[in-house]
C-alpha cells in the first residue's frame, strides 16, 4: 500500500468498527490479519492501527519505529496491552466506541493532502551542564533568519528555556495549558498561541504562582502531559514551522520518548573532558539506537583533550567545535538572548550545525 490506513487485527468486531469509522472519515482501510506479513507495508501506510489481539505479536516483531501508530481495542486495555503499546511506540490506546471521535480525527488527518513538513531536530547533552540548552536556543535563533522556527523545551525537570531566554513573563501557551488536550491540535492556532521571543516561537514549561500570591516557582514535571499530548504537539509543530528545535533531557521519561521517535536528526553536545566523554558513552549505550542521525558538537573546556579525539572515542562524526564565549555565559545568567547580530563562536557553530543537517531540506 502506498498510503492510507493499515489495520492489523483478526477480530471481526474490531474490523467492523474501524471500517465504519474509516467510511465516516473518507479513508480507505486495508486489513492485515497476520503480524508476520507486516514488514513490507509498515512504513508505507499513512496511519497504522493495531488491534489488542495482535499488539503483543506486532511489538515482538521488531518492526522499525514510526509515527502515527495507535492501538485499538473494544474493551478496557489490560497491563499487557499497555506494555506492548509502549514498547512499539504507539501514540495512544483507543477504546472503541468511547474514543471514536478521536480516531476519526486521526483518520481524517491521515487522508488530508500532504503539507510541507518542518525538520525536527533534537539537542541533547552528553553529560549534565554540557550546554545543550544554550546550543538549542542558538540553533533556533539562527534558523529563524530563514524559516519560521519553534523552540520546544523537552526537559520538564530542567531550569526552563523561558528562564534562559528571559521569557518567564511572556504571554503565550505553556506545556501545562496542554495537559488536558485530546486529539489533534490545529497547527495555525497552536503557532499563534505560543510565546514569542527574539523572532522565534517558544513552548516552555512555565511558572505558576502560589495561591497566596507568593513568587515560588513550580516548574513542570513529566506527569503534566501524556505521550499523546506530546505527539499532538509534534504533529502541529512540524506542520506550522519550517524548523523545530527540541531541547531534550538526558533522563528517559514520557515526554522525550515521542520526540526521540519523531526526530529527523540529533545534535549531541559533549564537553572536551574525560568524565564528560565517559558519561556520553554511557548515554549512547543506553539510548544510542534511538539517536537519529547523531551530529557531534564538542565544547572546548581547556582540558587539552582534542575534539577529534572525543569524536574518535565516541565513534561519531565531528561537525563543529564550540569555543568558549564569555558573552554567551553572561547572557545566560542575565536571561538575555545568547546570539546577537549573528556574530561570535556560538553563531558560527550553529551555522555549521545547520549546514551539516542539510538545512535546505528544512525549507517549507
Please write the tens of the pLDDT for every residue from 242-283: 999 999 988 766 566 788 878 889 999 999 999 999 999 999
Does residue 356 carry a pLDDT above 70?
Answer: yes
Average pLDDT over residues 154-176: 88
At 106, phi and psi to the nearest 5? Answer: -65, -40
CA–CA–CA angle 180, 154, 190 (5° rounding): 50
Strands across the sheet containing 47-51 = 29-32, 5-8, 47-51, 69-73, 92-95
Taking only Cα atoms into account, the Rg of the chain, rounded to an integer number of angstroms, comes to: 21
Residues 278, 313: Cα–Cα separation, whole Å? 9
Which cell is 313 given? 572515542
Residues 72, 283: Cα–Cα separation, whole Å? 34
At 343, phi and psi to the nearest 5? Answer: -115, 160
The per-residue pLDDT for 299 is: 92
Residues 179, 98: Cα–Cα separation, whole Å? 20
Does residue 212 carry a pLDDT above 60?
Answer: no
The per-residue pLDDT for 115 is: 54
Question: Could you tell me the CA-to-CA distances from 16 to 94, 96, 97, 111, 225 in Å, in that order?
Answer: 15, 11, 12, 19, 32
- pLDDT band for position 217 (cuts 50, 70, 90): very low
Mean per-residue pLDDT over the chain, rounded: 84
121 forms beta bridges with 245, 265
- pLDDT band for position 21 (cuts 50, 70, 90): very high
Residues 323, 80: Cα–Cα separation, whole Å? 49
Residues 304, 299: Cα–Cα separation, whole Å? 12
Segment 103-155, tens digit of pLDDT: 998 888 776 655 567 899 999 999 988 999 999 999 999 999 899 999 999 98
222 forms beta bridges with none
Average pLDDT over residues 313-337: 77
Average pLDDT over residues 341-346: 76
Residues 211, 208: Cα–Cα separation, whole Å? 9
More confident residue, 299 or 117: 299
At 326, phi and psi to the nearest 5? Answer: -60, -35
Residues 155, 180: Cα–Cα separation, whole Å? 19
The answer for residues whose C-beta is within 8 angstroms of residue 64's C-beta and 6 or more apart is 42, 43
Amino acid at each position: 500500500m502506498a498510503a492510507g490506513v493499515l489495520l492489523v487485527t483478526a477480530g471481526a468486531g474490531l474490523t467492523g468498527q474501524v471500517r465504519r469509522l474509516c467510511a465516516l472519515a473518507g479513508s480507505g482501510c486495508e486489513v492485515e490479519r497476520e503480524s508476520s506479513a507486516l514488514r513490507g507495508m509498515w512504513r508505507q501506510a499513512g496511519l497504522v492501527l493495531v488491534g489488542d489481539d495482535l499488539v503483543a505479536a506486532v511489538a515482538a516483531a521488531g518492526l522499525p519505529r514510526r509515527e502515527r501508530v495507535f492501538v485499538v481495542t473494544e474493551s478496557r486495555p489490560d497491563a499487557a496491552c499497555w506494555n506492548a503499546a509502549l514498547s512499539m511506540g504507539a501514540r495512544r490506546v483507543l477504546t472503541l466506541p468511547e474514543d471514536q471521535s478521536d480516531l476519526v480525527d486521526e483518520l481524517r488527518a491521515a487522508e488530508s493532502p500532504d503539507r510541507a513538513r518542518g525538520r525536527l531536530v533534537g539537542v541533547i547533552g552528553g553529560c549534565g551542564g554540557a550546554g545543550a540548552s544554550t546550543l538549542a536556543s542558538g540553533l533556533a535563533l539562527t534558523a529563524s533568519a530563514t524559516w519560521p522556527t519553534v523552540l520546544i523545551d523537552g526537559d520538564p525537570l530542567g531550569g526552563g528555556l523561558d528562564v534562559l531566554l528571559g521569557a518567564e513573563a511572556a504571554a503565550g501557551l505553556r506545556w501545562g495549558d496542554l495537559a488536558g488536550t485530546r486529539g489533534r491540535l490545529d497547527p495555525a492556532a497552536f503557532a499563534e498561541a505560543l510565546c514569542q521571543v527574539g523572532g522565534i516561537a517558544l513552548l516552555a514549561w512555565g511558572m505558576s504562582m502560589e495561591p497566596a500570591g507568593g513568587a515560588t516557582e513550580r516548574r513542570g514535571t513529566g506527569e503534566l502531559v501524556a505521550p499523546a499530548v506530546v505527539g499532538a504537539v509534534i504533529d502541529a509543530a512540524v506542520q506550522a514551522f519550517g524548523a523545530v528545535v527540541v531541547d531534550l533531557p538526558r533522563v528517559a521519561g514520557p515526554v522525550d520518548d515521542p520526540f526521540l521517535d519523531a526526530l529527523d536528526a540529533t545534535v549531541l553536545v559533549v564537553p572536551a573532558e574525560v568524565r564528560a566523554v565517559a558519561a556520553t558513552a554511557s548515554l549512547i549505550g543506553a539510548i544510542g539506537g534511538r539517536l537519529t542521525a547523531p551530529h557531534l558538537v564538542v565544547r572546548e573546556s581547556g582540558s587539552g583533550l582534542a575534539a577529534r579525539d572525543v569524536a574518535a572515542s565516541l565513534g561519531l562524526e565531528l561537525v563543529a567545535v564550540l569555543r568558549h564565549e564569555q558573552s554567551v555565559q553572561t547572557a545566560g545568567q542575565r536571561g538575555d538572548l545568547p546570539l546577537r547580530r549573528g556574530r561570535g563562536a556560538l553563531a558560527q557553530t550553529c551555522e555549521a550545525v545547520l549546514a551539516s543537517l542539510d538545512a535546505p531540506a528544512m525549507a517549507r
